[in-house]
Amino acid sequence: MTTQITLLTADNWMDYELLDSGDGQKLERFGKYVFVRPEVQAIWKKHLPLEHWQAAHAVFQPSGEESGGHWLFNLKVPERWLMNYANIKFWAQTTPGRHLGVFPEGAAHWDWMSGLIKSSSKPVHVLNLFGYTGLATLAAAEAGATVTHVDASKKAITWARENQILSGLQERPIRWIVDDALKFVLREARRGVKYHGLIVDPPKFGRGPKGEIWEVYKSLPVLLDACRLLLDQKPVFAVLTVYAVKASSVHVRTVLEEMLGDFSGSFDSGELVTRESNANRLLSSAVYARWDNKKSR
């Protein structure tokens, strides 16, 4: 059997743009502001002239620690600024971990699951684990789902709830939970709670609110086994996205297929990629696998 690798692009952005990449960096526009961030996979040469890079508002300088470092500001940037994707509005801001509150390539998943939720013949209850600033949660809620959003960071949950207000979705049924993902899933399983949609977007390494250690290679299979107990008899979708690991989409798909092996439906897997606006090159950000309850294609 041949497994097709899909390159997913999020092509509907207006407020985000990958301007250029190369020499271990990427040049990006978030709203009105332009940033330079490290990108080890950009092993080719930069396309744009140097002055475009020098005109960036800020450059992230990495330290020896993974994801550590600091921002060097060339031009004034507000503490946070408003961005939007389709009907979702959210705050963006620079953080000590080089991120800005949004992973733009993930919008490809938002559009996909929104379509599945809208076309479902029954109400859809979605569980979003490692939900960060809530953009996938808000996309699902805006499409009509009831969502349970889990993250170990109280700061991320606060940010996500602010994004909910910005998007005018205060009345949508969203449950915000600060907790360790595995502990929460096991507790829900004991309660007999069921979900129709599952979003899992784990970090490579992390800590829960009580110091619980997350290491993706060891922890992910255990978490997915537990998540299987939460799925409804007729689930609608499941999506797993993994960043910054030495794993291929084949590995990610295999672990998701093991979890969902007794459900009939369709799998696809591959990479989340962003297309440069000037050179038409593709920059890969993550590997993913996902399933929906449609017949296999």
Report pLDDT digits (tens) over 10-31.
999 999 999 999 999 999 999 9
| pLDDT score at 66 | 63
| pLDDT score at 238 | 97
Report whether pLDDT(286) > 90. yes
Report whether pLDDT(114) > 80. yes
User: Considering the chain, what percentage of its residues have pLDDT values greater than 90?
Assistant: 76
Report pLDDT digits (tens) over 216-236.
778 889 999 999 999 999 999
Question: Among the listed ranges 71-80, 156-165, 249-258, which one has the minimum average pLDDT value?
Answer: 249-258
Report, as an integer, the average pLDDT of 176-195: 96
Report pLDDT digits (tens) over 117-133.
999 999 999 999 999 99
> Strand (E) positions, the chain?
5-9, 16-22, 25-30, 33-38, 58-62, 69-73, 81-85, 88-92, 125-129, 146-151, 174-178, 197-200, 205-207, 213-215, 237-243, 266-275, 282-292
| pLDDT score at 77 | 97
- Take residue 227 and report the two structure tokens written for it: 């998540």
Per the CB < 8 A criterion, the answer to whether 100 and 81 are in contact is no
To the nearest whole number, what is the mean pLDDT of the chain? Answer: 92
| pLDDT score at 214 | 66
Where do the domains of the chain lie, and which CATH numbers do they carry?
Answer: 10-85 (2.60.40.1180), 100-292 (3.40.50.150)
| pLDDT score at 296 | 42
Q: How confident is the model at residue 65 (pLDDT cuts 50, 70, 90)?
A: low
| pLDDT score at 294 | 78
Phi then psi for residue 90, to 5 deg, are -155, 160
Q: How confident is the model at residue 35 (pLDDT cuts 50, 70, 90)?
A: very high
| pLDDT score at 297 | 35
| pLDDT score at 3 | 65
Report whether pLDDT(2) > 60. no
Report, as an integer, the average pLDDT of 236-264: 84
Q: Could you tell me which residue, 263 or 261, shows the higher pLDDT?
A: 263
131: nearest Cα among 186, 185, 201, 65: 201
| pLDDT score at 157 | 97
Report whether pLDDT(75) > 60. yes
Report pLDDT digits (tens) over 80-110.
999 999 999 999 999 988 999 999 999 999 9
**56: Cβ–Cβ under 8 A, 6 or more apart, which residues?**
27, 34, 35, 36, 74
